[in-house]
Structure 1
Amino acid sequence: MRWRRRPEAGAEEPAATPGAGIDLRDVGHEYGDRTVLSGVSLTLTERRVGVIGANGSGKSTFARLLNGLVVPTSGSVLVDGLDTRTQVRAVRRRVGFVFQDPDAQIVHPTVAEDLAFGPQNQGVPAEEIARRVEEMLDRYGLAGHRDHPAHLLSGGQKQLLAIAGVLAMRPQRIVFDEPTTLLDLANTRRVARVIDELEQDVVVVTHHLDLLAGFDRVLVVEDGRVAADGTPAETVPWYVARMD
């Protein structure tokens, strides 16, 4: 995910424990007097994790907890040992976030400027930023749009730009919050292929259950709790049966 303030010169990133994963310890979250999540304890170390559940179940709040967009009301979330409540800048260097609506994270006028925005805020040197921008433009078929207004791209192109903007910051993990909900079938399949080809670990919140084929683990969130946790073959049929 992106942020605006540049790191202070010479500032050191807090020590992390690479490979420790994302650890949720008795996590709860409330909005006002409404409990959204309660008693969630688990560790995510797998390369591909899916999160499913009905609307209002708490799964989007769960996703936002993983990189500090939301901090728990109770309990703690640790990313490679870094606390999202107190070490959020370091956490967001490690965990990127792709929103359902790409317009929520496209902030600069042109495609190339938007790709450069995140690395600039990380203090990446200009030459390296230029290299990353070119890499992302080429990888996602956006080179012909580099100077075009970003908000005039098609829906599928915007979502690719949003993903590319996160990748330009080189996170180790990426959380996707319903990345295909606003897309047609062709673009849904394209984004699914993009996710499948990523080297980074991913957590994908989705209603499109077909996206989860081949995933290592799928969580079912129900009434603010993780009601099922297992392989897609175990949890997806369980969830579908609950919806009947």
Structure 2
Amino acid sequence: MPTVTFDQVTVSVPVDHSPVPKVLLEAISLRLTEERIGVIGANGSGKSTLLRLVNGLVQPTSGAVAVDGADTVRAVRAVRRAVGFVFTDPLSQLVMPTGREDVELSLRRSVRNGKERRARAEASLDRLGLLHLADQSIYELSGGERQLMALTAVLAVDPAILVLDEPSTLLDLRNRELLRRTLAGLDQQIIMSTHDLDLALAMDRVLVIETGKVAYDGSPAEAVAAYRSLCAEQAGAGAP
């Protein structure tokens, strides 16, 4: 498995009319080597920022992130070849009218020959059971089908690491189960944020992010229990 390292990473952003920046993540140090890594936490806790650091969509304010030794700032092209990113809303990354065209677009840099690119795209779509939907408008697809199309476009270029930012948020129960089964069958290292605690329990390691810090890091069952306890404490503190 690849190794992703965070070395004392802090991310902060300026705030209008304030000399003090807002800290999104603070002094994060991690070494991620497991095959399936889950990231859980409340909205605004810093989960998405943590994930976007892995492929250079966000840069550290201080500290460093590396993928198999490649710094995500200095070697961003190499990092993005190794790391595929799937967003929460597939419509934010499906830019072509049909799934076939979108998968072919993702292959354009790596596969120059048009016929070979078409064959590779069809093989990728067939792998996830989507070939029969290849020429259908993405706006006619269900939420689950769109998410799988976005996933197919990312997987077509065969990244070593797959990062998914809350991929099941917009899906109903049937499509969440379809996504879960699909992810379980992949060879890539997966780093995924999720609000679905059942999905988190299927990981090898789970991080709990709270107010920009790692509040817990351990086995899925223990991490989910710690997160539930944290939520209960916060609910109790907010009670009248």
Q: TM-score, normalising length from structure 1?
A: 0.89
Contact 1:51 1:205 in 2 (8 A): yes
Q: Which amino acid aligns with 2:5?
A: D
> What is the CA–CA distance in structure 1 between the aligned matches of 2:217 and 2:132, rounded to whole Å?
43
Match of 2:18 in 1: none
> What is the CA–CA distance in structure 1 between the aligned matches of 2:216 and 2:110, rounded to whole Å?
37
Match of 2:5 in 1: 23
User: How far is the alpha carbon of 1:127 from its aligned partner?
Assistant: 4.4
User: How far is the alpha carbon of 1:31 from its aligned partner?
Assistant: 1.9
- 5 Å-filtered alignment, 1:139-218, equals 139-218=127-206
Do structure 1's residue 110 and structure 2's residue 98 form an aligned pair?
Answer: yes
User: How far is the alpha carbon of 1:151 from its aligned partner?
Assistant: 2.7
> What is the CA–CA distance in structure 2 between the aligned matches of 1:181 and 1:58, rounded to whole Å?
17
- 5 Å-filtered alignment, 1:1-244, equals 21-32=3-14, 33-244=21-232
Cα deviations by residue, 1:108-146 (Å, 9 ceiling, x for unpaired): 112111011111133554444223211122122322222
Structure index of larger Rg: 2
Q: Which amino acid aligns with 2:168?
A: T
Where do 5+ consecutive residues of structure 2 fail to align? 15-20, 233-240
Cα deviations by residue, 1:156-195 (Å, 9 ceiling, x for unpaired): 1100100000000100010010000001000011101111
Bigger shift: 119-128 or 136-145?
Answer: 119-128
> What is the CA–CA distance in structure 1 between the aligned matches of 2:59 and 2:46, rounded to whole Å?
14
Contact 2:2 2:161 in 1 (8 A): no
Contact 1:37 1:225 in 2 (8 A): yes
> What is the CA–CA distance in structure 2 between the aligned matches of 1:231 and 1:127, rounded to whole Å?
46
Q: Which amino acid aligns with 1:68?
A: G
Match of 2:235 in 1: none
Match of 2:237 in 1: none
Contact 1:23 1:42 in 2 (8 A): yes
Alignment partner of 1:35: what SS?
Answer: strand
Cα deviations by residue, 1:78-122 (Å, 9 ceiling, x for unpaired): 011111112111101101001000001001112111011111133
Where do 5+ consecutive residues of structure 1 fail to align? 1-18
Alignment partner of 2:171: what SS?
Answer: coil
* Equivalences, count: 226
Q: Which amino acid aligns with 1:112?
A: R
> What is the CA–CA distance in structure 2 between the aligned matches of 1:88 and 1:42, rounded to whole Å?
19
The RMSD of aligned alpha carbons is: 1.3
Contact 1:100 1:180 in 2 (8 A): yes
Q: TM-score, normalising length from structure 2?
A: 0.90
4+ residue runs over 4 A deviation: none
> What is the CA–CA distance in structure 1 between the aligned matches of 2:139 and 2:72, rounded to whole Å?
31
Alignment partner of 1:100: what SS?
Answer: coil
**1:210–1:20: structure 2 CA closer, same or farther, 3 Å change rule?**
closer
User: How far is the alpha carbon of 1:201 from its aligned partner?
Assistant: 0.6
Q: Which amino acid aligns with 1:233?
A: A
